[in-house]
Structure 1
């Protein structure tokens, strides 16, 4: 897989990194979303301290991730229950 050297700017600071070509778009999008959240918090709460803003964005991102994991776990359990139900119906019809 081909690797690219790119720079991502977050909170007015550039971060050079080497990424796989197929991950470049996702990484650039992540950088853009971080900057959008920084701007949103700055405007919403009037906070200018970059460390505070970055901490809030990190906390918010972790909450989002935990929510996704909880939803995925619930969906996995639902699918497993449906499979068990289908297996039970199949075994009854044999």
Structure 2
């Protein structure tokens, strides 16, 4: 897999990194989303301290991830229950 050397700017600081070519777009998008959230919190709450802003973004991102995991787990359980029901119907019809 080909690797690229890129720089991502977050909160006015550049971070050099080496990434796989097929991950570059996702990494750049993540950097853009972080900067958008930083700007949003700065405007919404009037906070200029970059460490506070980055902490808020990190906390917000983790809450989003936990929510997605909870939703996925609920969907997995729902699918499993439906499969069990289908298996019961098949067993009864044999």
- Per the normalisation by structure 1, the TM-score is 1.00
**RMSD across aligned positions (CA):** 0.2
- Per the normalisation by structure 2, the TM-score is 1.00
Alignment deviations for residues 7-58 of structure 1 (CA, whole Å, 9 cap, x no partner): 0000000000000000000000000000000000000000000000000000
For this pair of structures, how many residues does the alignment match? 94
Q: Distance in 2 between matches of 1:68 and 1:4?
A: 30
Q: Distance in 2 between matches of 1:73 and 1:91?
A: 27
Structure 2 unaligned runs (5+)?
none
Query: What's the counterpart of residue 87 of structure 2?
Result: 87
Alignment deviations for residues 45-94 of structure 1 (CA, whole Å, 9 cap, x no partner): 00000000000000000000000000000000000000000000000000
